[in-house]
Amino acid sequence: MVKGNLLYEGKAKSVYETDDPGLLLVYFKDDATAANGAKHGVIPGKGVVNNKLSAFFFKQLKDRGIKSHFVETVGEREMLVKRLDMIKLEIVVRNIVAGSLVGRLGLPEGTPLNVPVIEYDYKSDELGDPMLNRWHIMAIDVATIDEVNRIEHVALSVNTILRDILRAKNVDLIDFKLEFGRDVSGDGEVLLADEISPDNCRFWDVVTHEKLDKDRFRNDMGGVEEAYQEMLRRLTL
């Protein structure tokens, strides 16, 4: 595999073409942003942790029947993935109240939800990633109803699988964000993509409720690097 042109420079990752038109190389950076890009920083070692943890989770999901874009790890900070036609949605799944839901529902952080809640944000930097519902999604052709149904089914399965894996490591899965894309080199099947890491999940220690994710950076809590390393240690050592 030969690394080709930079296709996309994101906030946390850079995406490169390869000599295979169906494959991309994702490079995980240490850069971190929050508050819709208003806050910038560097979390040393984050890229390595996120690459390793994402590979770990994608493999665990594959073993349980959930297909993703992940092909293989090719370096400490790099993974090879299937090139997908990305669906411009962030799919958030929540088990426990945290983040923006505290203000929206007027409930304290840490309140358990009776059922997992699915939310959609429209991936649009110009609009500031506004929340959508499935009617908006269909109305403006972001995805078809069949795709939305598929995404919800897979997102809820991912939630159950990750919750169990994490619980065994003394970590509660509070909420997380997923992205999906269409496998246009095949039959357009919707596959899980992007990453699964402390950047886009909330992880709390089961006993102490210590935060082991990007909230430490978002809220200037300190111990940011240590939290990422601790998640890698708990899951993969």
Contacting positions for ligand ADP (CB under 6 A): 8, 10-13, 15, 24, 69, 81-84, 86, 179, 181, 193-194
User: In the range 40-79, which residues lie near ligand UDP by CB under 6 A?
Assistant: none
111-116: long-range contacts (C-beta < 8 A, 24 or more apart)? 116/156, 116/159
In the chain, alpha helices (H): 46-63, 100-105, 134-139, 145-167, 215-218, 224-236
What six digits make up the tokens of 133? 């519902």
Position among 101, 158, 166, 193 found at the interface with ligand UDP (CB under 6 A):
101
CA distance 217 to 229: 14
Q: Determine the interface stretch with ligand UDP among 12-20, 57-65, 149-157, 171-179 (rule: CB under 6 A).
A: 171-179
- Please identify which residue in the block is written with the tokens 């939310």: 119
- Apex CA 173: angle with CA 25 and CA 222, to 5°? 80
Q: Pick between residue 1 and residue 221 the one whose CB is nearest to ligand UDP.
A: 221
Q: Pick between residue 204 and residue 217 the one whose CB is nearest to ligand ADP.
A: 217
Q: Which residue, 213, 177, 212, 182, is CA-closest to 195?
A: 177
Q: Determine the interface stretch with ligand UDP among 9-17, 21-29, 65-73, 173-181 (rule: CB under 6 A).
A: 173-181
Position among 175, 179, 183, 230 found at the interface with ligand UDP (CB under 6 A):
175
Q: Pick between residue 180 and residue 204 the one whose CB is nearest to ligand ADP.
A: 180
Minimum distance between the CB of residue 159 and ligand UDP, rounded to whole angstroms? 12
φ, ψ for residue 74, nearest 5 deg: -120, 0
Q: Pick between residue 97 and residue 143 the one whose CB is nearest to ligand ADP.
A: 143
Q: Which does 151 bind (CB under 5 to 8 A by kind): ligand ADP, ligand UDP, none?
A: none
Site string for ligand UDP, 109-128 (x = CB under 6 A): ------------x-------
* CA distances to 181, 230, 234 from 171, in Å: 28, 11, 9
**What are residue 55's DSSP bridge partners?**
none
CA distance 107 to 93: 17
* CA distances to 48, 73, 123, 165 from 148, in Å: 32, 29, 15, 26
Q: Which does 202 bind (CB under 5 to 8 A by kind): ligand ADP, ligand UDP, none?
A: ligand UDP
Q: Which does 83 bind (CB under 5 to 8 A by kind): ligand UDP, ligand ADP, none?
A: ligand ADP
Is residue 200 close enough to count as binding ligand UDP by CB under 6 A? yes
Contact residues: ligand UDP, CB under 6 A: 90, 92, 99-101, 121, 129, 175-177, 200-202, 214
